[in-house]
């Protein structure tokens, strides 16, 4: 049985990490199932992904401490690479991914949320990188993505002091986009995903690439990348449909019918 489920409705895939008895902690099997779930998404049908954790308490409470406790240096490095490869796969997944953070997002859980495009949090969510309290560094991208997402100084404070923060503080420092009552979180995530799903899919994918890849480039190269991805949208059905619907003033404004080509 898989530790990760995926359900598709109205062009939105909901991927759920399903190991609630361990607060959805990530062991190698869970990580493999997570990768398989994303690989199984039909990118022609689906336009946006929502990632969440099963149960009411936890998104993901981190990498599985039990399975890490006896690792050698080499095994630790290998485990870090396993997670990093999968989180990079999610970060560069062509479709937008929204993390619906429904509780604990600690260690690898916060790192997983940070590999998503957008983070929405429940009021009971708790974020943190508690690794130094366990004698290790964050190892699934936490030292890198947290410093890029918030600020180096704030990331260092949270990481060095292993400080957990609540959803309100996560919102204040820009780690999450919005906070919702726990019982409204999924509806809010699905509403946003649904709105994204209605936009032109080639354009949305190109926006994801432009923002993600451009952030790592000097501005001169970043705007060149934007020019290429902007130009790539032209002559597509979506561009002709989107602009055509806007321009056809003689008729009632039709809704654009976007495709993937
Ligand atoms: C393994 C975990 C776990 C974890 C929780 N559990 N987190 N198992 N790895 N990261 C298990 C508990 O052992 C327990 O199992 C069950 O989930 C419920 O947890 P409790 O502790 O009983 O719940 P609660 O008292 O509510 O406390 C919740 C908690 C606490 C504050 C989240 O569980 C906790 O501090 N967990 C560890 C958080 C953490 O340090 N994460 C970072 C890990 S390092 P049983 O069988 O006893 O019921 C990391 C590194 C990433 O992520 C990079 C790797 C390369």
pLDDT digits (tens, 9 = 90+) for 219-229: 999 999 999 99
Residue 136 has, within 13 A of its CA and on its CB side, a CA count of 22
Report DSSP state, residue 41.
S
What is the rounded distance in angstroms from the CA atom of residue 146 to the CA atom of residue 142? 6
Centre of ligand 1 from the C-alpha of residue 69, in Å: 13
The answer, yes or no, to whether any atom of ligand 1 lies below 6 A from the CB of 53, is no
Q: Which residues pair with 109 in a beta bridge?
A: none
Domains of the chain, first to last: 4-197 (3.90.226.10), 201-248 (1.10.12.10)
Q: What global pTM score does this model have?
A: 0.97
**What residues of the chain score a pLDDT lower than 50?**
none
The answer, yes or no, to whether any atom of ligand 1 lies below 6 A from the CB of 61, is yes
Residue 255: per-residue pLDDT: 80
Instruction: Tell me which residues are annotated as active site.
Output: 111, 131
Q: Whose CA is nearest to atom 17 of ligand 1?
A: 22
* Closest to 233 (Cα-Cα) out of 213, 196, 198, 206: 206
Dihedral (CA of 106, 140, 121, 90) sign:
negative
Centre of ligand 1 from the C-alpha of residue 22, in Å: 7
Task: Give 41: exposed, middle or buried? Use CB within 10 Å, 0-12, 13-18, 19+.
Answer: middle
Summarised one tens digit per residue, pLDDT across range 37-60 is 999 999 999 999 999 999 999 999
């Amino acid at each position: 049985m898989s530790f990760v489920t995926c359900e598709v409705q109205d062009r939105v895939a909901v991927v759920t990490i399903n190991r609630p008895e361990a607060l959805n902690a990530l062991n190698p099997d869970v990580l493999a199932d997570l990768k398989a779930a994303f690989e199984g998404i039909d990118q022609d049908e689906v336009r946006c992904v929502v990632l969440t954790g099963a149960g009411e308490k936890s998104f993901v409470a981190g990498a599985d401490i039990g399975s890490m406790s006896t690792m050698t240096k080499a095994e630790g490095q290998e485990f870090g690479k396993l997670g990093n490869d999968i989180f990079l796969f999610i970060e560069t997944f062509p479709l937008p991914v929204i993390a619906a953070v429904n509780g604990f997002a600690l260690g690898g859980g916060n790192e997983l949320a940070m590999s998503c495009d957008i983070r929405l949090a429940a009021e009971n969510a708790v974020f943190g990188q508690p690794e130094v309290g366990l004698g290790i560094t964050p190892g699934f991208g936490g030292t890198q993505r947290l410093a890029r997402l918030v600020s180096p100084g704030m990331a260092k404070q949270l990481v060095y002091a292993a400080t957990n923060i609540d959803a309100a503080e996560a919102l204040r420092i820009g780690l999450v986009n919005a906070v919702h009552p726990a019982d409204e979180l999924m509806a809010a995530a699905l509403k946003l995903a649904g709105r994204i799903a209605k936009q032109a899919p080639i354009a949305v994918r190109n926006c994801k690439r432009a923002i993600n890849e451009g952030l790592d480039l000097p501005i001169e190269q970043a705007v060149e990348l934007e020019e290429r991805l902007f130009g790539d949208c032209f002559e597509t059905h979506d561009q002709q449909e989107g602009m055509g619907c806007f321009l056809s003033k003689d008729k009632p404004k039709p809704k654009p019918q976007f495709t993937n080509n």
